[in-house]
Each structure stands twice: as structure tokens, then as C-alpha cells.
Chains A and B, each alone.
Chain A
Amino acid sequence: MRLGAGFTTLFLAMVAAGCSDPSTGNGFAGLAQQPGDVDQSGFLQPQPGDTLTFPEDWGPHPQHRIEWWYLTANLKTADGEPLGVQWTQFRQALQPRAVESEPPDPDHWPLEAAWMAHGAVSFNGEHWFAEKLARGDVGHAGATVEPFRVWLDDWQLKSVPDSDHWRLQLQGDGWAYDLRLSNTDRVVAHGDNGFSAKSASGEGSMYFSLVDLRIEGTVTLDEETLEVSGKGWFDREWSSQFLKAGQQGWDWFALHLDGGEKLMGFRLREDDGAFLAGSWITAGGDVEALDSEDLTLSPASWQASEQGRVPVEWRLTIPRHGVDLTIAAPPGNYWNTGLYPYWESPVSVTGSHQGVGYMELTGYSE
């Protein structure tokens, strides 16, 4: 792909020009495998014991290499048809910047960070996807805390003044959505007070979520506007190293169970095994961190596609809570075919519990 090649080249050029470390190899925000160890000079690395700070942590972390704002939503149309929505905005720094220092002058067209946004809609077995890119600190892409706003060109998530809800507006080629998000004040910190380990050797990220968003609004597909409503899941995560050497990708799940419980679980695939972790959130809102001892996760069925073979059906168990779930993507192809292709699909949950959710699988693209 012409543009892809262009951006890859640019990326290398940017890295060579702006960064002492030529090996930020894990693509954009860790969406691709990395070939080796990454020099972290100048970037902060989250540690066990780090904690979350609000409202600052809603905004960007210029001293960290990668971060994202991420929403998935399991919605229903007025006819009761399920409809999935995803929006992610990534920031990838090429140069670290101290939190207290001023951002560079936009007139210099600085290249300290690049931004990428993904938007997708999944409905009736079809999947719409679009990608946008921008350089940071110029003005057309960024994130602010007060007022809370994350944007890239005309795509944006922002808090609605004098209310507790947010508005997310996106439009792609033949699709668009305009959603109102409420129940935005119940933060769930994952792992150890927000430090989420990503390997046995202690690397990790800062990670929190809004797990019980209520969403309503409209989704327009091929000029037909649908009224939608349902549940959403919002993630904030940042780090300077996501996949460490030897990790090939991740399988991530965020599920709303019918009893009111929420479950987040992920598996980082390593050369010899996998690293598992997650969070079990009771209907009452209590959070319990899960580790490899508590959680099992294994593919149950695979699907071949042009992009590669992906496991589209999974078995997840948490014996301690009597959880034994079959998680399955609906029929269809849910590849987000951007610069770094990955799978992002709504899922249905059956087994010991019923429910819905989202599944993100990276590192399967060939």
C-alpha cells in the first residue's frame, strides 16, 4: 500500500531525525511486534507503586512514549439489532517532554509526537473502519484535560459543558456516529491501583477504565441514520513500553455480564507461553485484580482471512468465581485495516454467564 509505505518511511525518518533511539519497533502504540529491546532513555516507565492522579491523567503524558483513549460500545438499534462501535486515539511520542515544560511552537511544525485515530462500526456482519493521522502540537490533533477533549481533525470526544456527559463525533467514508456518553465518573483502576503489569518481569502500564458507560445517539451508515443506545467501556492507558521483547501480541476482552458484573482480561502471547491478567468488577463496583493463577483464556475456534488467521471464539474461566465463558465474535470480518492491522470485534458471551463485550486481537496479521 502506497501510503502505508510512505508512513513507514516517514516513521523511520522521524525516528532517525528526532530520536536518539532508532528502534521504536513496536509500530504505533504497540500495535506491531517489536524486534528487540527498546532504549527508554528520557521516557518515564510506569512502576509498581505508581498511582493515578485526577484530573491530570485524563490528558496526555508527554513523558511517556505511548498512550491511548479508547472506547468500545455494545449498542442496540431501535429494532434491537446489536451494533458495535469503536473509537481509539493513539499518541506516540518520538521525543519525551517533561510535563512541566511548554509544548513546542506550532509554527515550527514540531514532530515530538504523532497521533493516530481509529474509528469503526460493526453492524449486521459488516465492518466500517477509518484511520486518521496527524502530527501533534500543531493544533489539529491533541488532548486536553480542562475542558476534557480528545480530537484529531474533525473527530473528537469532548465533555459537554455543565453536564457529566461527553459527546463523541466521528465520520468516515459512508459512515458516521454522534454519541452521548454518560455515567462518566466511575473510574475503575486496574492492577495495583492503576499499575497494570504486562509481563512477569514487571513491565507494565498505567491503566484505568470507565466500565459502565451509558450511551445513546445516532449511527449513520450509508446515509441511513439509526437511533442507538447501549453500554460502553472506556480505557485510558499509557506506558513507554508495551510489548517487551519476545511478546507477539495481545488478546484483550472487556465484557458486560448480564448480572451486572464486568470483566476485563488479557493475554500477552510470549515465545514460551503467555502472560495473563485482568479485573473482576462486581455489580456493586468492587474491583478484584486477576492474575495467571485466577484466570484461564484459550482460543476455541479460528477463522482464516486475507489478513491472517485469528481465533474468533474463546474460552475464559475464573474458577474462583464460577465463571466459565464462551466468547464469540459474530460472523464477519472485523479487521481494522490501517497501517497496523488488528482485529476488533464485538462479542457475545455464553456459558456460566450471558453478556456482551469487545475483543481486540493484535499480532495475528500476516
Chain B
Amino acid sequence: MMLVRAFVSHYRRHPFQLAALAVMIILATMLWTGVTVLTEQARSSLFQSEEAVAARVQVVRADGQPVNVEDFARLRMAGLCIAPWLEVQRPPPEGRAIGIDPLAMGCFGDATPGGDSGELDGAPFLDIAEAARLASEGYDRRLYLLAKHENVTLPESYMLREFSLGPPTGELADSFLLNLDALSLLVLLITGLLVRSVHRLGIAQRQSSFELLFRFGVPVRRVQQLLALELVVLTGICVLPGLWLGAKLAGMLGGGFGQALDSLFDVTLYAGSAEALPWQAAGVMVLLVLAVCLVDWLVPQRWQGAVSSNRGRLVAVLVLVAGLAVVALASDLARVFAGTALAFIGAGWLTPGMLAWLAQRLSDRAHPDGAGPLTRWRRRELAVMFRHLALPVVALQFAMATVLAVQALVTTFESTFDDWLAQRLEAEFYVEVPPGADAGLAADRLRVLEGVGSWHRVLRGEAIISSDGAGSDDRTLPVDLFALAPISDLVSDWTLLASVDKPWQQLEQGGVMVNEQLARRRQLELGQALEVLVADTAISVAVVAIYADYGRPAGELLMAGAALPEGFVTRFESFSVNPGELPMADIRAQLAEVWNVTDVTVRDNASVRALASRVFGQTFLLTRAISLLTLVLAAVALLIMSWVFFTTRVWYFRLLGIWGLPARAVRSQLRRLSVTLTLAVTLAALPLGIWLTWVLVSRINPLAFGWSLPMALYPGFWLELGLVAVITGLVVARLMRRQLIHRESGKQVKA
């Protein structure tokens, strides 16, 4: 008992050290918990928004007539799992209502349309009788019959069609989630560094009391056990508030997100899991704290000493180079992750030493005249700080690198996503050609329609590339063929990765465009001639452009409708229409008349696009929040550490004052020192962050999904980060200054 008392008495004399460690564990737990919850939220919201807009199958009548309740009954009585979906369009603010029949949805099991909406617990999902009643008030209504599977055998007079509330996001979402996971791991790494740095500091400051205990005959082992026990107790106590704070924080950040989804879908798609504390996150945290703090017993003392020796630096360089090489050359994801970890370890190992060396070099160059000697002193102090604050410096560097990479990634994702939406939703409206209807007639009608905006007809079918002209091999490759007729200016915004001069005219004159994936797979180049088999007719076409496909793995050919050979089998046809001066309802009516059907399916691309953009926008926002949180924690850690560290250096600032440097000038030295420190860390984070961005977009993504995002850099954001660094530095200086004042009022000149 006496021993325990002696053991903890250190903290009685230095409560600040205990508080620092406790605060660090709480903050670290908060960050990790917040990140875990937010990642989980981002994941589930992405999943749910995907679900909500995911393609499903619907049953339509082969005769082109809209389906009705008799069709539903007939299909059900044929033993098919079919559910009705009655959309009623009301003007805002009520908006769209969707009537569903929960009784009929029993057979859908978990694949219930509209998410887990079997519970009918919120608008827009209503019982279908209620929706039908609304429709009878004069609102536009449309019935869809959803099928559970794509592979059902339908009676003769029915066919399956895709049914979607929006565009499928495909691998874009998966890729994003993978990157989110990578981010979480980085956060954990940073958290570990922070906790370890505070703990090391505490141990260093208690070294003398430990030595006293050894002298009193307490075995080293016993001290270590007590230390471990102390840590377990402290972690146990601190993890709880951290957990709670993290969940609260995530709840706060996620709240806005949930609201956005609410207004978007009129339904609470995101059921907040933040209410339940994520205990597994706490478990990970406790393990992490124990691991990073007790690593000293596991790693022999000799090795630890070698870390900052020349040989240690050599090892660090080797680790860094190995990491870079592995990432550059790896052929699978696991190796890229491992390589990234190695590169981070190597970089983190080297950075403080390098920064200190640099500061030392610069101090030697400080001019002996003018403010030289003072500058020299400040740079030397900086070098000392780099060495002593190695762990928090590295943590801040990692955090900044992460923030940089995440920002670049998210911005890239956003713009890619925008482009992708723009390409798929090029016109304001999208009109499906009903089965059996003659699209040619409709095109004729649109051509003579006064006031209509840009439009084109898309014919979709199949083609086989028999030879790519390069003669390298003559593997045949089936591809999707898209034909545009006419080629309107709707497509002129497409992102072309490469193109000849005036590509769209060239396309009109018989050229083809190929998608990125096809171009990559067959190493196609502009101007190259392709032998293509379309409807058993061999044609030779030149590649006039390569367009971005954002990850669609299937090969695609795009050509002018006029260039299609006779006998081309159109599998699917649609129109993309900008209504121009006409109301879309008129165009719709015209098409219905031409096709002699009562109703024409028109998709309002603008609303689909707005919906998709907003959902993803929120997800991106969350990701930014996570990285920012990491940065804040790293900055706080640096603050705490700097403060503690400064207590050992405060005398030398005082000495400057005794030597006659005015207080204002002393404070200025302090500011310049701390701002230089944080700015230097930012500079050190830049290459790492850029490299990490490259790894995410150019290595991880292609390996995981076979396509790469464009690599973009955002120097504007670097400046913002620099500003954050300056502010952090100023706050550190401010805290130190308080300590300076505090000491001055003391009785003795000396500390």
C-alpha cells in the first residue's frame, strides 16, 4: 500500500501530467469513437441511399399499355412474387407519395423495395389504398409492378424492365468506402502516437522517482506492474467519457446528415446508431493504449536506443524506400496497405530527426551580425523541440497528411461524381421507348416539333470487336454498342480523355468513340482502325475519342445512328430530351400519341441528379469532418506536449529577459519558434499527403476496382492548412506565454 502511495504521489505533486494523460486518452477515444461511428454512418447512409436509388426490376406489359391492378392479380395468381408501387405526384410541399402493399411484399423478404419500408412508418410510403385515395383527388399517378428477382419466368404478355429511382452508383461507392476504411486505420495510428507521446513524457518525468524506488529495493518488475495497473485503471476511467463524447460528437455531425436525408426522401433513411455506444471501439481503444504505452517492455532497450542512432536512421530510410517501392510495384491491395504502413513508419521515423538537422543547419547559417545570434539560438531551440516532441510532431504530420489526402480524394470524388452524373443524365428528361413502339416515328415527330430543345435518341445493342487493327492479336470481344441519332449538343460536355480534332463531327462522319476501360484493355489509340462486327456486318471504324466511363468495366462503343448497318438489333431505346420552350407534359403527350399508348415513362433527370448529388455531398461532408477532427486532436496533442515541454525550457526564455531582451521581444521569439514548428510540420506533411493522395487514387482504387480516379492537387487547401498551422502555433505560444508570466511572478528568479 505504501508503495502504491509512493507511486501515485508523483501525480499529487504534478497533477497536470496526470490530467494531460487523461485528457489525451479521452480525446483519443473520442476521436476514434467519433470516426468509428461516422464511418459507420457514412457507410450505412451510402448503402441506404444506394439501396433507395438502386435498380430493381419491374414487370411491364408487352403491348406497351400501363400495368393495372388486374395485371397485378394475374401475375400473383401465376405464383410470381410481385408488389405494387403506386407513385402519386403531388405539388410541393407534400411532394411524391408512394403507395405500397405491405401484405403483397411479404414474399420479398429482405429485398423489400424502398428499403426496409415494410413498416410503413413514414412518408412517402403509404398504404397503397391511401395513395390511391390521394390520386383520386386529381394528382398524377403511376403504377409500377416490382418483381423480386430478375430471373423470373413471366407469362407471355409481360416483360421485365429495369426500375430505378435514380442512377446506380456502382463501384464509385465501394471505392469510397474502402478509402474510408483506410482513413480509419490512419486515425488509429495517429491516436496511438499521441497517447504514446504523452505517456512517454510522463514516464520520463517520473524517472527520478522510479530510481528512488529502485534504490529502496523495489524490483523493476514490480514498478512495471504498478505502471501497467495504473494505466489500465486510468484507461478504464477515461475511455468511458471519451466514448460518450465521441458518440455525441458523431451524433452532432451526423445530425445534419440525417436531416438532409430526411428532406430528400421524406423518410428517415438513416436510423442513428449513435445512441448505442460503440463498445467495440472502446475495446480497440483500450488495447491500443495498453499496446503503445507498454511497448517498451516488449521491445528490447537496445533497439529503442538504436532508433535515433545512425544505424536507426539507415533502417528508417530502408523502411521508407521499401514502403515506397512496395506501394509502387505491388499487385494486390494487401501489399499496398502494408507498403503504405511501411512508408508512414519510415517517414515518421525520419521526420523529427530531419527537421532537427535542418533547423541546426539553418542556425549555423544565421548571420553573425544583425539579429543573427538570436536567430541562431531560436533555430537551435527549434531543433531541440523537434527532437523532444518527436512523437506529437509525427502525429501532427500524419494527421495533416491524412487531411490533405482526404481533401484531395473527396474533392476528386465529388468532381468525378459530377462528371459521371452529367454524362449519364445529360438531358433534363429521359424517355424510355415502350416495347413495340417505333422510336423512328417519335424521332420524326420531335424533329418537326417547334420549340423543343436539344434531344437525341440512343439505340443500344451489341457489337463484336474482331480486330483492333494493331495486329497484336485478334481476340474477339463483345462490347455494348450505343448509337446516337442525331448527335445533339447534349453530349458536348462529356469528359473526353483523348480526342481528335472536332470529335463529335468525326463521330457523325463514321468514327467511333470508345470508353476508357476498352481503350485500356485493348490499348487503343486515337485514329486506330477497329474491325467491328455489327449485326453480322463487318465494318471498319476509326477511334476518334476515348471517353471517361467512371468505372464501368464493360467495353463500350459509341457511334452515330446513321452509321449503323442494316439489321442492327436494338435491344433498348431511349430519348434524352431538353424540353426547351415546351412543357414536358406536351412532349410526353405527343410521344404517347405517336406511340398510341396511354402513358409514357419520363424520368426527370434534374431531380434524380439533385437527389444523388445531395446524398453524396453529405457523405463527403462527413468524411471531411472525420479528417478535420483528426487534425484538431493532433493539434491539441501538440499543444499539450508543447506546454509540458516548455516547462523544461522556460528558464532560457527568462534568461533572455534577464539579459535585457524586452518582454515583448521575448514573446515574439516564442511566437516565431512555435509557428515555425507547426509550419515546418505542415511542410513535412505535404509530400506525405500528396503521396498518400496518389496511393489512394492511383494505386488502391485501380487495384480494388480496375479504374483510376484523376489525380488532382489543391494548393489552395495547402494554404488553408498552413493557416491552421499558424493558428496552432500562435495558440501554443499564447499558452507558453501564460506560463512565462506565471513564473515571473514567482518569488525566485530561477525555476
Chain A interface residues (CB < 8 Å from chain B):
2-3, 5-7, 9-10, 13-14, 17-18, 106-111, 114, 131-135, 138-140, 151, 153-154, 171
Contact = CB atoms under 8 A, between A and B. Distances in A.
Nearest to A112: B129
Interface in B109-164: 109-110, 112, 116, 118-121, 127-133, 136
7 contacts: A6-B105, A7-B103, A10-B120, A17-B127, A109-B86, A131-B106, A135-B104
Contacts of B101: 109, 135
A110 B69 CA distance: 11
Interface in B52-105: 68-70, 72-74, 76-79, 84, 86, 99, 101-105
B84 A109 contact: yes
A14 B68 CA distance: 23
Nearest to A136: B103
A150 to B, nearest CB: 13
A10 B102 contact: yes
From B101, B103, B105, B131, name the one whose CB has the most chain A CB atoms within 10 angstroms: B103
Given A9-B121, A111-B127, 20 more contacts: A3-B106, A7-B103, A9-B119, A10-B118, A10-B120, A17-B127, A108-B129, A108-B136, A109-B132, A110-B129, A131-B106, A134-B103, A135-B103, A135-B104, A135-B129, A140-B72, A151-B77, A154-B76, A154-B78, A171-B79
B415 to A, nearest CB: 39
Q: Dominant SS at the B interface? A: helix
Contact of B118 (A6, A140, A154): A6
A154 B121 contact: no
A133 to B, nearest CB: 4
Contact of A139 (B72, B78, B102, B118): B72
A73 B119 CA distance: 36
A131 B131 CA distance: 26
Interface residues of B, number: 36
B70 A106 contact: yes
Contact of B69 (A6, A107, A134): A107
A40 to B, nearest CB: 23
Contacts of A133: 103-104, 106
A17 B130 contact: yes
Contacts of A3: 106, 109, 118
A136 to B, nearest CB: 10
Nearest to A12: B120
B127 A132 contact: no
Given A108-B132, A109-B84, A153 B102 contact: no
A139 B70 contact: yes
A9 B68 CA distance: 26
A106 B69 contact: yes
B78 to A, nearest CB: 7
Interface in B30-72: 68-70, 72
A132 B81 CA distance: 11
B110 A2 contact: yes
Given A2-B118, A108-B132, A111-B127, A7 B79 contact: no
Q: Which of B68, B102, B118 has the most CB of A within 10 A?
A: B102
Contacts of B79: 153-154, 171
Given A2-B110, A7-B103, A134-B103, A106 B78 contact: no
Contacts of B105: 6
Contacts of B127: 10, 13-14, 17, 111
A94 B116 CA distance: 25
A42 B72 CA distance: 31
A138 B73 contact: yes
A18 B107 CA distance: 24
A132 B106 contact: yes
Please indicate which of the listed interface residues A106, A134, A151, A153 has the most CB atoms of chain B within 10 Å of its own CB: A153
B267 to A, nearest CB: 14
B130 A140 contact: no
B128 A109 contact: yes
Contacts of A111: 127, 129
A135 B120 CA distance: 16
B608 to A, nearest CB: 27
A28 to B, nearest CB: 11
Contacts of A108: 129, 132-133, 136
Given A14-B127, A135-B103, A6 B120 contact: yes
A65 B152 CA distance: 36
A106 B86 CA distance: 14
B103 A153 contact: no
B136 to A, nearest CB: 7
A271 to B, nearest CB: 33
Nearest to A111: B129
A133 B70 CA distance: 17
Contact of A7 (B102, B131, B136): B102
A116 B616 CA distance: 42
A90 B350 CA distance: 77
Contacts of B70: 106, 139
Contacts of B128: 109
A9 B131 CA distance: 17
Nearest to B102: A10
B72 A138 contact: yes
A247 to B, nearest CB: 27
Nearest to B118: A6
A107 B106 contact: no
A3 B78 CA distance: 23
Nearest to A131: B106
A109 B73 contact: no
A174 to B, nearest CB: 15
B77 A7 contact: no
Interface string B448-483: 000000000000000000000000000000000000
Contacts of B133: 108
Nearest to B128: A109
B175 to A, nearest CB: 30
Contacts of A131: 106
B561 to A, nearest CB: 40
Contacts of A135: 101, 103-104, 129
Contacts of A17: 127, 129-130
A6 B122 CA distance: 12
The 10 A-B residue pairs with the shortest CB-CB distance, nearest first, are A139-B73, A6-B118, A154-B79, A140-B76, A140-B73, A133-B103, A111-B129, A109-B128, A10-B102, A106-B69
